[in-house]
Structure 1
């Protein structure tokens, strides 16, 4: 049996079928489909998105201000329509989730509430490598509170000779430094290595010492099973343009655990859309801010309708498949990818993503012993889209909603040819 035959057999036998026909697939110059393994950077467009956005444009054109209450999907309560689906996606209760702003903005909004340095407890524990925007946000928060970045940033590095952190090392660091920690902020899935962290274990360690625990879910939401409520995570934020497939710069999401979300005394940045809706429009008198119960109380401005519209199509697909079923297909696909890459040999690269399927998402990262950028460009020339991260890593992310086993087989065949040609 050839590799392609085996790939087709795996596709036929997989109980979770691809939803490829619900997405627009980029085309090669010859008219064939690109092999798109870059959903960890920008997800593909669901076909239904065009109609959803067009409907909002038409309602704006035809109804103007009356669209707030009389559009096909009225704009005033627009964000509320994503509560249930958003909660299912991240393992939360509906009141704990809101779609608003974008990722780094949401991190700042949430850290305004949860990073409250006092006395000796001023430090933030984070993981490495950390996505630059997170670093900037953490440093900015420290400076905002008149802290010292060199003192108050505690970045946990993998042990020498390793690429990934061990859960026990993260927990041990929390145990060691808890008297100095004002917050722990980690990725759900590391953007560089593709490692998925054990959020439940880390959350328990934080809770034992009353240290707020926040998570950047940029590479986790829509990728892996999440149980934010049961795991006891304090807060989290994510973008919607990667695995959630809502387009470049799409509106982000935020989670606040219900033990905090109903605490009206929690300090926050405030604006009218986070206010209790019953008094939101009482503009004839000055009233105190009364936060909306739940995560929606962290909203500041009214929802950006045109940016939010793609969420309808995307979340409908996730509801149809179910994130748990999708995750099982993803594990099988990523396992096949790892098997195919490993069969080529490690003379020219090494896999830096954990081998344990429960400790990674859809992404496999390979460290190239040569020019990774040249390799990515060579793959691109054959119609295969991957992602280069300096200095020497290629990220490959078969997305279970629209990628196939046959594409993985084709990629591995081309990789075997290209690796030798670029070294």
Structure 2
């Protein structure tokens, strides 16, 4: 696409956008009496208009049926997780039996580490990225300590080359190969939350397996953002949240993927709960855990129906739009955002885009490294009706989500950025 820096061009793009009507399915926050420019879907997605009715349906079944809602409600709670199998699988490129909606992201990560991080005196190291999201760092630190190892010794962090902001795939593969004799696990974010870099999951998985390690990913910033093929890439496991690009509400339910080569292995170590036990025998209340087939065998407790109802409403919209179409629009929107920011002609010593320029190596998000007056700039943007987020020490993350953001949103943001820059740097 050849971009133009004009409102006429932005509106023409919106008129030609086959996904433009999806915006009407979301509530847009109001600032100063008008729609905000909401560019924070990488942190919390907007509320779908269908969520209220979805929640009310479950509340009505609870009101009218009580415990019988488990079996006789409109969406019986006993098998509620099955409502997600097909659509969640399409979202991440999996088979239906390989995905499960449950718990939250970090709980699921710990459950996966119980199964897939089994260190030995010879193989105990974990490779992750430098500056991973804190939850991942804390989970790895505590899992390593639980097994009696020192995080400083057991955890290897992948760092960009000096003077660079992003990791090179070849460098990541080289570190994996160099530690093959002691490597137990590779665990990375699918998209780095700070820089917005999308990692080459297929290549990393191949390298990890060649080194004899298990490979997993935190897809919090990847699910609903980029096209994934978890099954075909033979990734061992993955976890994600649903409240960012998937628009399922603050603190919403999490999800997990376990490749079928592991998911159907009842002998794989795991922490068990009764909702993961064979549901045909669950209410016999007998000793002896017999896991359900597939990823469902990692469930612990009965489903958190209200948060799952919100996710179901959001996922239905996502599935209707389809990841290929969303990804196509995302590349155009983010490309337009980059074009407009660069058209401000600000020196990189003042404002630097640290997200890769290659569209295949990024999703919706551009991370702007602000070298002067960054916090003041962020606050000025916020006051002008732009909702985005600030990450210490000096990054503003801007994320136009294709389901509800428009080209006009992006154009107006760039105009406000120009004016705000002039105000805080005058």
Query: Could you tell me the TM-score, scaled by structure 2's length?
Result: 0.97
Which residue number corresponds to residue 129 of structure 2? 127
CA contact (8 A) 2:92 2:230 kept: yes
Contact 2:5/2:411 (<8 A) preserved:
no
Structure 1: distance between partners of 2:228 and 2:158? 23
Q: Is the 8 A contact 2:183 2:212 kept in 1?
A: no
Instruction: State whether structure 2 residue 85 is matched by structure 1 residue 76.
Output: no
Q: What whole-Å deviation, never above 9, does each CA across 1:396-415 have from its counterpart, x for those lacking one?
A: 00000000000100000111
Tell me which of 399, 417, 420 is aligned to 1:418.
420
Q: Please give the per-residue CA displacement for 1:317-364, whole angstroms capped at 9, x wherever unaligned.
A: 111111111011000000000000011123320100000001001000
SS at 1:269 equivalent: coil
Q: Conserved in 1, the CA contact under 8 Å of 2:183 and 2:211?
A: no
Equivalents in 1 of 2:84, 2:142: separation in Å? 31
Q: Is 1:27 the counterpart of 2:33 in the alignment?
A: no
CA distance in 2, matches of 1:377, 1:144: 42
Aligned to 2:7: 4
Q: Does 1:196 align with 2:208?
A: no
Structure 1: gaps spanning 5 or more residues: none
* Inter-partner Cα distance in structure 1 for 2:423 and 2:194: 25
Give the match for residue 335 of structure 2. 335
Q: Does 1:313 find its partner at 2:350?
A: no
Match of 2:99 in 1: 97
Report what 2:395 is aligned to. 393
SS of 1:51's equivalent in the other structure is helix
1:206/1:226 CA distance change after superposition, 3 Å: same
SS at match of 2:179: helix
From 56, 60, 63, give the equivalent of 1:61: 63
Report whether the alignment pairs 1:215 with 2:217. yes
2:261 is aligned to: 259
Q: Distance in 1 between matches of 2:21 and 2:370?
A: 30
1:233-272 matches, within 5 Å, as: 233-272=235-274
Q: CA deviation at 1:124?
A: 0.6
Superposed displacement of residue 18, structure 1: 4.7
Q: Distance in 1 between matches of 2:235 and 2:201?
A: 8
1:287: which partner in 2?
Answer: 287
SS at match of 2:283: coil
Aligned residue for 1:58, secondary structure, equals helix
Distance (whole Å) between structure 1 residues aligned to residue 58 and residue 17 of structure 2: 37
2:152 alignment counterpart: 150
- The superposition leaves residues 39-79 of structure 1 with CA deviations (integer Å, 9 ceiling, x where unpaired) of 00000000000000011111111110111111111111011
> Per the alignment, in what secondary structure is the counterpart of residue 415 of structure 2?
helix
Indicate how the Cα distance of structure 1 residues 156 and 18 shifts in structure 2: closer, same or farther if over 3 A, else same.
farther
| Equivalent residues of 2:5, 2:340 under 8 A apart | no
Is residue 296 from structure 1 mapped to residue 299 from structure 2 by the alignment?
A: no
Aligned length in residues: 420
8 Å Cα contact 2:144-2:151 kept in structure 1: yes
Q: TM-score, normalised by structure 1?
A: 0.98
User: What is the CA deviation profile of residues 282-325 of structure 1, one whole-angstrom value per residue up to 9, with x for unaligned ones?
Assistant: 12xx4311111100000011100011111221111111111111
Does the CA-based 8 Å contact 2:356-2:362 persist in structure 1?
yes
Q: Is contact 2:48–2:247 with CA below 8 Å preserved after alignment?
A: yes
Q: Is the 8 A contact 1:18 1:404 kept in 2?
A: no
Give the one of 369, 372, 381 matched to 1:370.
372
Q: Equivalent residue for 1:409?
A: 411
Q: Does residue 223 of structure 2 align to residue 225 of structure 1?
A: no
* 2:48 alignment counterpart: 46
Does the CA-based 8 Å contact 1:370-1:422 persist in structure 2? no
3-state SS of 2:178 partner: helix
